[in-house]
């Protein structure tokens, strides 16, 4: 008897302890992730001729000037003078160049070095961290704008990050549904107009099952507009199928929730 | 035991991530007109003529009216009948949803007409083609001469089911029908259906008439008339044709309008170059002065709950719009923009005030919130004014004078309507020139 009581108390205490441990964890806000897009942008800008933003250009030019000034005190290696001006140095060679630049200087051999530095090299001389910081900043400004106009909160974006869809995948899906959703314009914009639809999808993006999460509200008196809105949202989803879902990670997106909210749009 | 506890802990920790559902917010959609198929109503073969009406063609005619109503809203796109995949006799069957979806229709209207005991029975069904289900089904029985109204009522029901707001098709517009040159203009009161049909003249044109306004019950109209060269506010019963002067004012009364319950008339009374706002109860004839100011206060309009009044006044120098309580207290100026503001009209929904603005020689029709914020100018022209709301607060009707008439000289006045989004501006068909429109509430309400 005493023994079983002892086991019971121990087990219950363990359970309470575990619950206490896990609860704060559940309550905690998801960790804020840094915007991924900025990284992608840097890669693109390195390989294309997209013009830099005015601020970025200013910094680039300042850096160039600095570099030129430094170059004027530096001497290139003798071998470099013989190279063709248009030849783009291989990455390894560039490293060697930089190392050499840091070595002894010879003012007489400045000109060939300046002539030799192509556009490609000039870009290499620029501090990419500074540009990345600028682009990040520009992205942040854009994100704030988006937040104001579309009411897409950080937490919503985080949600999809954490659970499977990348930003571009989510955008593709969103854009597809934007096109299919004919918003009923007679709705009152000063009321709660959120319609949540839970979908079960097949691998090809067609809908296996759709469910309006607050469907009981549709039949409540005075909620005629909600019924109209929910129906329009369902119509949009059905019209759009197969939905543009990623080719992989089916387990992550087979259950999907779409939150339709036209408030901002109706306010004009 | 250790293993069990470890598994338990792991499952609790992992659960947080596994159960996370992907959520995507959809905050925008398209404003493209909804593609809708209006199948001609099926007519029973036995039905032929009733009270001089060709019943056989009624099915086609009713569907045409519904189509036209929807097209005029700018919110629907009725599809060409040539593309229809089933004949009208599907009225008693479920349509082949997949086939209708092929022609990109999202909603389908079917129906039939029966004649029984010299009465017309019109049935209709609205189908959601994407969900493959019926949305609404109703039947109306009426005297055959009412067939146009039945078409409008069906349009209202479908519009309400698809947009969530009341329709405005089974309504009328009262206006001032104008003819003749500008210095000898003949002005008559006229009434027509909102689609321009069934025009009737209510006065002969011997006196100048202005600013007719509907009572919310639609039986009565109040307007201003220059009978014996004395401008006064009159009351007219549309059904009986009887007229009477409103109140016994020792001077000019103008700009009348009914209170939302239809029991009072609010108007301006001018004396010695000053005009103030008064109300008169129709039952007791009790007159109450609402404003008392040395400036010109006019164009009063009640809020739909009857608690507030919007009016325009030049008390600040230029004519601006003010709002006060219905007893005249707590007067607040709500317009501060450049230009002159006038003719405020409170929306039936209560959220907006429509107005006319004059600025730099141009006239604008616009809407703003009831506190004066969120001003939006919907349309601009050389001369246009007198906005009036559709009963659902979605469309405004107003009149516009253009410099050149049909022959390139003189001027022409016509009624126009515009959606409160600023889109879908269109001219209403009237038999003559027209001004000062007033939109009735729903007749079938």
* Tens of pLDDT, residues B86-97: 887 777 788 999
Best mutation target, B13, B17, B28, to test chain A (most A CBs within 10 A): B28
- Does the N-terminal peptide bond of residue A246 adopt cis geometry, omega within 30 degrees of 0? no
pLDDT, chain B, mean: 88
Contact B16 A264 (CB under 8 A): no
> Residues B311, B303: contact at Cβ < 8 Å?
no
Distance of CA B264 to the CA centre of its chain: 22
Residue B204 and residue B83 share a domain: no
Q: What is the CATH number of the domain that holds B66?
A: 3.40.50.10070
* Tens of pLDDT, residues B209-218: 999 999 987 7
> Residues B367, B355: contact at Cβ < 8 Å?
yes
Nearest chain A residue (CA) to B17: A163
Q: What percent of chain B is predicted at pLDDT more than 90?
A: 59
Q: What are the DSSP E strand ranges found in chain A? A: 195-201, 207-212, 255-260
pLDDT of residue B7: 62
Sort out which chain B residues have CB atoms less than 8 A from A163's CB and list them.
20-22
In a domain, B105, yes or no: yes
> Residues A159, B23: contact at Cβ < 8 Å?
yes
Q: Which residue has the tokens 């079960």?
A: A200
Candidate from A216-225, B145-154, B323-332, B387-396 with smallest mean pLDDT: A216-225
* Tens of pLDDT, residues B14-62: 554 455 788 899 988 888 889 999 999 998 766 677 777 788 888 999 9
Residue B433 and residue B305 share a domain: yes
Q: Average pLDDT for residues A172-198, to the nearest whole number?
A: 85
Q: How many secondary structure helices (H) and strands (E) does chain B include?
A: 4, 33
* Residue at a domain's end among B118, B139, B163: B163
pLDDT of residue A122: 41
Sign of CA dihedral B225, B228, B229, B232: negative
pLDDT of residue B175: 96
First CA to last CA distance, chain B: 73
In a domain, B25, yes or no: no
CB of A258 within 8 Å of a chain B CB? The answer is yes
Contact A261 B17 (CB under 8 A): no
Residue whose C-alpha is closest to residue B292's, from B327, B252, B339:
B327
Pairing assessment for the beta strands B76-78 and B34-38 based on DSSP bridges: parallel
Contact B28 A18 (CB under 8 A): no
Residue whose C-alpha is closest to residue B350's, from B330, B367, B366:
B367
More confident residue, A106 or B103: B103
Contact B21 A258 (CB under 8 A): no
Contact A239 B75 (CB under 8 A): no
Residue B429 predicted with pLDDT over 90: yes
Sort out which chain A residues have CB atoms less than 8 A from B135's CB and list them.
231
pLDDT of residue A67: 55
Residue B186 and residue B156 share a domain: no
In a domain, B11, yes or no: no
Contact B26 A162 (CB under 8 A): no
User: pLDDT category, B397, cuts 50, 70, 90?
Assistant: very high
Residue whose C-alpha is closest to residue B394's, from B376, B417, B427:
B417
Q: Average pLDDT for residues B432-444, to the nearest whole number?
A: 92
Contact B164 A229 (CB under 8 A): yes
Query: CA–CA separation, A238 vs B440, rounded Å?
Result: 39
Size of the A and B interface in Cβ pairs below 8 Å? 138
Residue B118 and residue B239 share a domain: no
In a domain, B7, yes or no: no
pLDDT of residue A71: 44
Residue A117 predicted with pLDDT over 50: no
pLDDT of residue B373: 92
Best mutation target, B2, B33, B164, B391, to test chain A (most A CBs within 10 A): B164
Q: How far off is chain A from B330, nearest CA to CA, in Å?
A: 26
Residue B331 and residue B250 share a domain: yes
In a domain, B444, yes or no: no
Residue B285 and residue B411 share a domain: yes
Residues of B318-331 as b/e, b for ≥16 C-beta within 10 angstroms? ebbbbbbebebeeb
Q: How far off is chain A from B42, nearest CA to CA, in Å?
A: 28
In a domain, B292, yes or no: yes
User: pLDDT category, A138, cuts 50, 70, 90?
Assistant: low
CB of A37 within 8 Å of a chain B CB? The answer is no
More confident residue, B239 or A21: B239
Residue whose C-alpha is closest to residue B335's, from B349, B350, B356, B305:
B356
User: pLDDT category, A80, cuts 50, 70, 90?
Assistant: very low
Q: What is the DSSP string of A245-263?
A: --SS-HHHHSEEEEEE--H
Residue A96 predicted with pLDDT over 70: no
> Residues A205, A244: contact at Cβ < 8 Å?
yes
Residue A93 predicted with pLDDT over 60: no
* Residue at a domain's end among B132, B163, B194: B163
Q: What is the CATH number of the domain that holds B229?
A: 2.120.10.30
**Total domains in the fold of chain B:** 2
* Residue at a domain's end among B143, B163, B183: B163
Q: Give burial (CB, 10 Å; 0-12/13-18/19+) of B51.
A: exposed
Residue B359 and residue B314 share a domain: yes
Distance of CA A22 to the CA centre of its chain: 30
Residue B227 and residue B113 share a domain: no
Contact B25 A174 (CB under 8 A): yes
- Structural domain boundaries, residue B144: 34-163
Q: How far off is chain A from B257, nearest CA to CA, in Å?
A: 26
Query: CA–CA separation, A7 vs B242, rounded Å?
Result: 96
Residue A39 predicted with pLDDT over 70: no
Q: Which CATH architecture has domain A151-267?
A: 2-Layer Sandwich (3.30)
Query: CA–CA separation, B341 vs B333, rounded Å?
Result: 11
Residue B116 and residue B90 share a domain: yes
Residue A241 predicted with pLDDT over 90: no
Q: Among partner residues A190, A228, A239, which is closest to B164 by beta-carbon distance?
A: A228
A34 Rama class: left (phi>0) / alpha (psi -120 to 50) / beta: beta
pLDDT of residue A111: 42
User: pLDDT category, B8, cuts 50, 70, 90?
Assistant: low
H-only helix segments in A151-214? 154-163, 167-180
Residue B303 and residue B178 share a domain: yes
In a domain, B45, yes or no: yes
Prediction pTM value: 0.72
Q: Average pLDDT for residues B329-356, to the nearest whole number?
A: 94
Q: Among partner residues A170, A178, A224, which is closest to B30 by beta-carbon distance?
A: A178
Query: What are the extents of the domains in chain A?
Result: 37-130, 151-267
Query: What part of A 190-229 touches B (C-beta under 8 Å)?
Result: 190, 198, 224-225, 227-229
More confident residue, B431 or A114: B431
Contact A257 B24 (CB under 8 A): yes
Residue whose C-alpha is closest to residue B387's, from B369, B405, B400, B370:
B400
Residue B180 and residue B317 share a domain: yes
Residue B248 and residue B120 share a domain: no
Nearest chain A residue (CA) to B11: A22
In a domain, B63, yes or no: yes
B212 Rama class: left (phi>0) / alpha (psi -120 to 50) / beta: beta
ipTM: 0.74
Neighbours of B226 (CB within 10 A): 15
């Amino acid at each position: 008897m005493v023994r079983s009581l002892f086991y019971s108390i121990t087990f219950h205490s363990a359970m309470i302890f575990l619950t206490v441990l896990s609860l704060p964890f559940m309550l905690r806000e998801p960790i804020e992730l840094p915007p991924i897009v900025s990284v992608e942008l840097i890669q693109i800008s390195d390989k294309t001729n997209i013009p830099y933003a005015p601020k970025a250009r200013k910094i680039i030019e300042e850096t160039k000037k600095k570099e030129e000034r430094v170059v004027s005190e530096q001497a290139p290696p003798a071998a470099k003078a013989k190279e063709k001006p248009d030849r783009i140095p291989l990455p390894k060679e560039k490293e060697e160049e930089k190392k050499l630049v840091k070595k002894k200087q010879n003012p007489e051999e400045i000109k060939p070095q300046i002539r030799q530095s192509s556009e490609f090299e000039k870009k290499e001389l620029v501090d990419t961290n500074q540009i990345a910081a600028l682009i990040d900043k520009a992205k942040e400004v854009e994100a704030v704008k988006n937040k104001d106009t579309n009411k897409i909160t950080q937490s919503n974006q985080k949600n999809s990050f954490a659970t499977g869809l990348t930003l571009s995948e989510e955008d593709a899906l969103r854009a597809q549904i934007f096109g299919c959703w004919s918003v009923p314009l007679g709705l009152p914009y000063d009321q709660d107009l959120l319609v949540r639809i839970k979908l079960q999808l097949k691998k090809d993006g067609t809908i296996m099952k759709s469910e309006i999460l607050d469907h009981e509200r549709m039949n409540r008196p005075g909620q005629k507009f909600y019924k109209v809105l929910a129906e329009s949202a369902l119509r949009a989803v059905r019209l759009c199928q197969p939905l543009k879902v990623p080719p992989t990670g089916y387990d992550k997106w087979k259950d999907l929730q779409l939150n339709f909210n036209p408030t901002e749009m109706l306010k004009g | 035991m250790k293993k069990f506890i470890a598994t338990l802990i792991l499952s609790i920790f992992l659960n947080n991530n596994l159960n996370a559902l992907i959520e995507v917010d959809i905050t925008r959609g398209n404003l493209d007109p909804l593609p809708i198929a209006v199948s001609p109503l099926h007519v029973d073969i036995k039905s032929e003529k009733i009270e001089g009406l060709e019943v056989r063609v009624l099915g086609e005619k009713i569907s045409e009216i519904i189509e036209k109503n929807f097209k005029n809203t700018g919110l629907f796109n009725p599809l060409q009948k040539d593309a229809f995949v089933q004949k009208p006799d599907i009225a008693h069957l479920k349509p082949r949803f997949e086939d209708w979806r092929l022609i990109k229709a999202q909603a389908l209207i079917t129906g039939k007409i029966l004649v029984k005991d010299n009465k017309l029975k019109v049935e209709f069904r609205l189908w959601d083609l994407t969900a493959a289900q019926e949305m609404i089904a109703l039947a109306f029985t009426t005297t055959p001469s009412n067939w146009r109204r039945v078409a409008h009522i069906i349009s209202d029901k479908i519009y309400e089911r698809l947009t969530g707001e009341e329709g405005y098709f089974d309504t009328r517009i009262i206006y001032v029908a104008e003819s003749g040159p500008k210095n000898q203009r003949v002005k008559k009161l006229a009434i027509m259906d909102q689609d321009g049909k069934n025009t009737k003249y209510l006065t002969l044109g011997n006196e100048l008439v202005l600013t007719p306004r509907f009572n919310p019950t639609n039986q009565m109209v109040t307007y201003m008339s220059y009978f014996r060269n004395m401008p006064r506010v009159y009351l007219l019963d549309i059904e009986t044709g009887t007229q009477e002067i409103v109140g016994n004012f020792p001077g000019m009364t103008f700009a009348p309008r009914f209170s939302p319950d239809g029991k009072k008339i609010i108007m301006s009374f001018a004396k010695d170059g000053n005009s103030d706002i008064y109300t008169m109860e129709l039952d007791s004839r009790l007159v109450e002065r609402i404003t008392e100011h040395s400036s010109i206060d006019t164009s009063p309009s009640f809020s739909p709950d009857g608690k507030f009044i919007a009016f325009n006044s030049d008390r600040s120098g230029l004519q601006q719009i003010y709002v006060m309580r219905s007893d005249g207290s707590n007067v607040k100026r709500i317009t501060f923009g450049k230009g002159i503001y006038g003719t405020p009209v409170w929306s039936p929904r209560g959220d907006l005030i429509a107005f006319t603005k004059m600025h730099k020689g141009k006239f604008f029709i616009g809407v703003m919130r009831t506190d004066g914020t969120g001003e939006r100018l919907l349309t601009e022209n050389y001369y246009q004014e007198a906005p009036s709301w559709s009963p659902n607060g979605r469309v405004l009707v107003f009149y516009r004078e253009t410099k050149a008439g049909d022959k390139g000289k003189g001027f022409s006045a016509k009624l126009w309507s515009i959606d409160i989004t600023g889109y879908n501006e269109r001219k209403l068909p009237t038999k003559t020139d027209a001004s000062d429109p007033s939109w009735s509430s729903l007749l079938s309400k």
